[in-house]
């Protein structure tokens, strides 16, 4: 399996992404997925956990941008309290929206981390755009049939990633 599907980091959730971790990896900006990354799919608005973590990242000086395949209505409502730059209907894993987010934030791709819960959209697209990728465990098991189907193949990639990361001393 190609390493193009492997994240640079794999963490439990957004709270595991700290300023220290980002600093260590020379990250200055974050591209954030919404569904099952910041909140469960069925949650329309940014919850306290997302608002607090995003506030900490902003306070630490990081630039943030939402990049989501969701509709404009979904992204606008979710972003109402956050007031971040946002790209809806991003068509991930295409790179166009990732590159647009980088331009909006005014940061080079090598200094941006893509944070998401899906290998075949967030990680694959971020890697293709030349960005650092952080895979988070999905928040909620309730997902569409399409996403559940893709998770079958993600498990295979994650097994290979686990073997590869052990072999390369990455944990």
How confident is the model over 25-34, as pLDDT tens digits? 999 999 999 9
The number of distinct structural domains making up the chain is: 1
43: number of Cβ within 10 Å: 16
Quote the domain boundaries for residue 31: 3-167
Q: What is the pTM of this model?
A: 0.93
Average pLDDT over residues 130-159: 92
pLDDT, residue 26, reads 97
How confident is the model over 61-102, as pLDDT tens digits? 999 999 999 999 999 999 999 999 999 999 999 999 999 999
Q: What is the CATH number of the domain that holds 85?
A: 3.40.50.1000
The β-bridge partners of 109 are none
Per-residue CA distances from 14 to 76, 130, 164 (Å):
21, 21, 23
d(CA 129, CA 81): 28
């Amino acid at each position: 399996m190609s390493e193009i599907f492997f994240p640079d980091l794999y963490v439990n959730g957004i709270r595991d992404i700290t300023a220290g971790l980002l600093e260590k990896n020379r990250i200055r900006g974050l591209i954030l997925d919404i569904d099952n990354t910041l909140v469960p799919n069925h949650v329309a608005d940014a919850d306290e956990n997302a608002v607090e973590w995003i506030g900490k990242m902003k306070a630490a000086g990081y630039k943030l941008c939402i990049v989501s395949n969701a509709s404009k209505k979904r992204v606008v409502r979710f972003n109402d309290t956050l007031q971040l730059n946002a790209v809806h209907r991003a068509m991930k894993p295409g790179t166009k929206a990732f590159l647009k987010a980088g331009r909006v934030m005014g940061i080079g791709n090598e200094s941006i981390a893509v944070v998401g819960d899906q290998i075949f959209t967030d990680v694959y697209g971020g890697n293709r755009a030349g960005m650092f990728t952080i895979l988070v465990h999905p928040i909620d098991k309730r997902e569409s049939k399409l996403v559940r189907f893709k998770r079958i193949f993600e498990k295979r990639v994650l097994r290979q990633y686990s073997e590869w990361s052990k072999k390369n001393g990455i944990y």
